[in-house]
Structure 1
């Protein structure tokens, strides 16, 4: 099973629809979650027919912006639980009709001052969650400073708010393979900004159910966002024989606020070693980095 998520920035452009058609032909996803369709239900139904998918649930645009759509193939048994301008919550049923797991297509408020409303929405969804849970889409926020490139650094308060809601909801980022960023403002030179705004987060029960799941950042987009593809069985990685993406280690300033951080550094730095000189220092740095990464997770 594959799930495609994409902030398409409007499906009124025939070029965007053609790109989506080609993408679906190549990747053959079972479910598709689209953000910023800028369409109403009637127009989205015409797009569904062009895409060749059998089912569609639409959240209409408001004015000339917004709009969400969840599309899926006929073999999937899916029930819509709730929806809003920022989410579509659904249950995937087994062949016997029993609830198996939940999928939430999510769109974080693009206005920074209102993003806390999106985080409260996630908390309300979590309060009702008793199944394996996958939440994916455009969160309009980053978790760490290295997920942004260009111009001023992201507000620490904004990142802390995102990290806190994931912690409160027992959700963890699934990681990814591919390009480091999913959004670009399209400018050149010093004016270029790139960020990782699109992602998949899951609770432990979902990860235990799908331990081979992999997320891919796809290219060639007609939008300022890259599509992301979640392969629940990791087949794409197995066929391509590509190594798993490994994030570069970066020390996060927020760690200094936690008492455990100093203890980890002190303990690892004073471990006995048979090395000396430069090898001793580099070995201790690697050990500290490894322990901090594990602690952070």
Structure 2
């Protein structure tokens, strides 16, 4: 957070909030200044810092997991923001751990992230998007308040923007699939605080039936549909009941045929390695070709599975990346979850019991 206060006052706030550890970048006069607080559940190593950013490596002790986190408060001057983007990109080029980058970026990614006078300058949006793409980051899409900053003015002079956000690498998103970010109401500040949760309360839900795209490659699927639909025992059922019977048969067939795809791929790889290491006098054997063909087919099914769930239709099967599809699926599921609601008194409530009540 930007402190705008001397170290003594920041330390008093830390003690009042019951944090045990801190790192402080002192302000220049009454402007700027950064403060980072954490408790003993984390081990935080400060790798470097500047007036606008703190670069850290965090170790989650209870999970025994490590990640890179960059906390920032971008400058108001565009040229200085560009310099900050460049410094972050250079630092991230050596990252091998999951990476999270969050704070006040002082820019928006899309025109709809601003309301009020004057349209956002396109060159600024383009520069910020270039930075995000260059660093291979994705937006966590905060829930809660749509805008994270307001000039607090009235009428036509009111301006609101989404300046604060959390960006993450593909590796981070896959490592923490349940993580979400909520922009809480701004109280005592012109910025809203961001609340980042790595996991959500576990709750059971009924699995929704989906017709898998890769089933169409199997002749058995058509036979199962036809046989079940024309089965004499289903003739007295109505349309919905017959469809449910078809769904049940397809799920049973798919589970038995594709349920252990990853295990099957690993076994085939071992078998292929054994064949390739054996002495051969006539080049690639027919058995090797069959194994390679089966592995390719299993990979195709896996990619189609995640591609269908990602709902990105502009990527063809042959061009897709399974990790990317997986991450976008995680993103969409988190976006569709309702984790908090505002009650009649205007207070935000969280937790499954409170939401059900």
TM range (shorter): 0.5 to 0.7
Distance in 1 (CA, whole Å) between partners of 2:98 and 2:118 is 37
Q: Show structure 1 runs of 5+ residues with no match.
A: 1-33, 242-288
SS for the counterpart of 1:45 is helix
- The residue that corresponds to 1:101 in the other structure is 67
> Which structure features the higher share of helix residues?
2
Residue matched to 1:77: 43
1:232 corresponds in structure 2 to 198
Do structure 1's residue 208 and structure 2's residue 199 form an aligned pair? no
Aligned match of 1:172: 138
Q: Distance in 2 between matches of 1:201 and 1:97?
A: 21
TM-score, normalised by the number of residues in structure 2: 0.55
Kindly indicate whether residue 23 of structure 2 is the aligned counterpart of residue 57 of structure 1. yes
Following the alignment from structure 1 to structure 2, what is the Cα–Cα distance between the partners of residues 192 and 119?
A: 28
Q: In the alignment, which residue of structure 1 is the partner of 2:279?
A: none
Q: In structure 1, how many angstroms separate the alpha carbons of the residues matched to 2:43 and 2:182? A: 25
| Structure 1 position 66 matched with structure 2 position 32 | yes
Task: Give the match for residue 123 of structure 1.
Answer: 89
Deviations 1:85-119 (A, max 9, x none): 11111111254997711111111111224221121
Decide whether aligned partners of structure 1 residues 208 and 47 sit closer, same or farther in structure 2, where only a CA change above 3 A counts: same
TM-score (norm: length of structure 1): 0.66
SS in 1 for 2:48: strand
Q: 1:183 touches 1:197 (CA, 8 Å); kept in 2?
A: yes
Alignment match, 2:98: 132
How far apart in 1 are the matches of 2:114 and 2:313?
24
1:259-294 CA distances to partner (integer Å, 9 max, x unpaired)?
A: xxxxxxxxxxxxxxxxxxxxxxxxxxxxxx974799
Higher-strand-fraction structure: 1
Give the distance between the partners of 1:177 and 1:156, measured in 2 at CA: 25
Q: What SS does structure 2 have at the residue aligned with 1:120? A: helix
Determine whether 1:91 maps to 2:67: no
Partner of 1:42: 8
Distance 1:210 1:140, change over 3 A: same
Q: Which has the higher contact order (CA 8 A, sep 6+)?
A: 1
Residue-by-residue CA offset, 1:154-203 (whole Å, 9 max, x unaligned): 11110000000111111110101112100001111111100000000000
Secondary structure at 2:123 match in 1: helix
Contact map agreement 1:132 1:203 (CA 8 A) in 2: yes
Aligned with 1:222 (options 188, 203, 228): 188
Counting matched residue pairs gives 212
Render the CA deviation track for 1:213-264: whole Å, top value 9, x for unaligned: 11101015110111111111034xx79x9xxxxxxxxxxxxxxxxxxxxxxx
Instruction: Note if contact 2:41-2:62 (Cα within 8 Å) is conserved in structure 1.
Output: no
Q: Distance in 1 between matches of 2:315 and 2:72?
A: 27
Shift of 1:146: 0.4
Change in CA separation of 1:225 and 1:207 when aligned onto 2, cut-off 3 Å: same
Secondary structure of 1:137's partner?
Answer: strand
Per-residue deviation at 1:41? 2.7
Please tell me whether Structure 1 or Structure 2 has the larger radius of gyration of its CA atoms.
Answer: 2
The answer on whether the counterparts of 1:144 and 1:159 sit within 8 Å (CA) in structure 2 is: yes
Q: Measure the CA separation in 2 of the matches of 1:293 and 1:216.
A: 30
Q: Contact (CA 8 Å) 2:41, 2:61: kept in 1 or not?
A: no
Q: Single out whichever of 39-48 and 204-213 deviates more from structure 2.
A: 39-48
Whole-angstrom distance in 2 between the partners of 1:145 and 1:93: 37
